[in-house]
Amino acid sequence: MPYLFTSESVSEGHPDKVADQISDALIDNFLAFDPESKVACETLVTTGQVILAGEVKSKSYLDVQEIARGVIRKIGYTKSEYMFEANSCGILSAIHEQSADINQGVDKKKKEEQGAGDQGMMFGYATNETANYMPLALDLAHTLLIELAALRRENKAIKYLRPDAKSQVTLEYDDNNRPIRIDAIVISTQHDDFDTEAKMLTKITKDMKEILVPRVMKKYPQYKHLFNDKIKYHINPTGKFVIGGPHGDTGLTGRKIIVDTYGGKGAHGGGAFSGKDPSKVDRSAAYATRHIAKNLVAAGLCDEVLVQVSYAIGVAQPTSINVNTYGTAKVKLTDGEIAKKVEAIFDMRPYFIEQRLKLRNPIYSETAAYGHMGRKNEVVTKEFKEPSGKTLKVKVELFTWEKLDHVEKVKKAFKIK
């Protein structure tokens, strides 16, 4: 029987995402100057105020205030009328040294025996319904906001946009779990003040339908048929949205974990990503399970898969690895048997995850908005500045967990031609 499924996304200017981006900028700066840094950093943003808190063990010293201001400036909070502005907001730092009790469970004499930074379970998911092996509803929701942010920065076709925004996409699926139409699109975007609310709603609705959606549609040629005049649009459904960002709603690190992952498809272990160095398996193992899931689907093992891994704090070897192919496996093996082979292909001890995915590099700022999964794997050069004025340029590879570098190994292990 056909069914509906919905996913949402939030923009880089959403208060929770502002907090995530500040936390991950701190991670990147610590790792750039000391790759062995251990960091767990939380951020709170509200009207005219940023509060930083957390634990750090690092050889580097940073101007955390200037790093936070740089992030806020880049997002676009640069006008006093936003009531949260890069140059004038207050920034309070309550960052202190990491607990030695936690550290003793992570750092070991032999690096390969490095223990998990915490207990917990992590999930990775992949599906072949999109080119990047992500659920289509979430991918569309992200793309709507990526293009909306591009329109805001271009400031040509649409000139009234402010940084805060949310989107939501509802798809109808057929009996074979394939998307057959877009049922509804929701877009709420912060905007400059208009003369009247009626004029504002008319203008924004027209621009979203005639400028934004066509830009998004061009990115999905294989799903062009899903876009039609029967889509139900809800554009700024509450009406006026002038007050937004951290002035409209307090933001906290780690409050958008479903937006960060798979939009409600698959499962989530509950741990947030941003603000955590890769010794925290909440982050590194979630990336590693995505890497596994994507390579399994790309190899043709299955159409859809969910991979779970779990850890005990301070212990290197996972307590379990589970694979669920939702009955789509193309090999004559049970999911349990598939999991055993996966365990032999991918070493899931924390140190080996860090090495395989190059996670002790400053690669995290780019993950903190528009999802940690399904993104483009590429090599970029990033620049970091110490309080002394010393500048460091680092060439890094982003989104390594999106690489299809284990497809041949999977095919060989499972005898897939």
pLDDT digits (tens, 9 = 90+) for 267-302: 999 999 999 999 999 999 999 999 999 999 999 999
272 in a labelled binding site: yes
Contacts of 37 (CB under 8 A, 6+ apart): 30, 31, 56, 57, 58, 59, 60, 277
In this prediction, residue 110 has a pLDDT band, given cuts at 50, 70 and 90, of confident
343 in a labelled binding site: no
184 in a labelled binding site: no
In this prediction, residue 37 carries a pLDDT of 95
Considering only CA atoms, which of 70, 17, 78, 85 is closest in space to residue 254? 17
Distance, in Å, from the CA atom of 149 to the CA atom of 246, rounded to the nearest integer, reads 17
Find out whether 332 and 416 touch, Cβ atoms under 8 Å.
no
Distance, in Å, from the CA atom of 45 to the CA atom of 250, rounded to the nearest integer, reads 6
- pLDDT tens digits, 51-98: 999 999 999 989 999 999 999 999 999 999 999 999 999 999 999 987
209 in a labelled binding site: no
Distance, in Å, from the CA atom of 138 to the CA atom of 167, rounded to the nearest integer, reads 10
Sheet with 179-191, strands from edge to edge, namely: 3-10, 161-173, 179-191, 232-235
pTM attached to this predicted model: 0.96
156 in a labelled binding site: no
16 in a labelled binding site: yes
218 in a labelled binding site: no
42 in a labelled binding site: yes
In this prediction, residue 312 carries a pLDDT of 96
Find out whether 373 and 262 touch, Cβ atoms under 8 Å.
yes
Considering only CA atoms, which of 281, 395, 318, 391 is closest in space to residue 33? 391
The token pair at 159 is: 């000139």
Count of CB atoms situated within 10 Å of the CB of 367: 24
Considering only CA atoms, which of 259, 275, 257 is closest in space to residue 67? 275
Residue for token pair 């767990």: 40
Distance, in Å, from the CA atom of 39 to the CA atom of 37, rounded to the nearest integer, reads 6
In this prediction, residue 417 has a pLDDT band, given cuts at 50, 70 and 90, of confident
165 in a labelled binding site: yes
Mean pLDDT value of segment 220-234: 95
Backbone angles phi, psi at 56, to 5 degrees: -140, 140
In this prediction, residue 113 carries a pLDDT of 74
203 in a labelled binding site: no
In this prediction, residue 105 carries a pLDDT of 53
Find out whether 127 and 297 touch, Cβ atoms under 8 Å.
yes
174 in a labelled binding site: no
123 in a labelled binding site: no
240 in a labelled binding site: yes
249 in a labelled binding site: yes
Domains of the chain as residue ranges with CATH:
3-10+136-247 (3.30.300.10), 120-128+278-414 (3.30.300.10)
Q: What percent of the chain shows pLDDT beyond 70?
A: 97
Considering only CA atoms, which of 140, 303, 334, 148 is closest in space to residue 224? 140
411 in a labelled binding site: no
Residue for token pair 């271009």: 154
The mean of the pLDDT values for the chain is 95
Mean pLDDT value of segment 196-223: 96
Residue 398's DSSP bridge partners are 378
114 in a labelled binding site: no
Mean pLDDT value of segment 155-174: 98
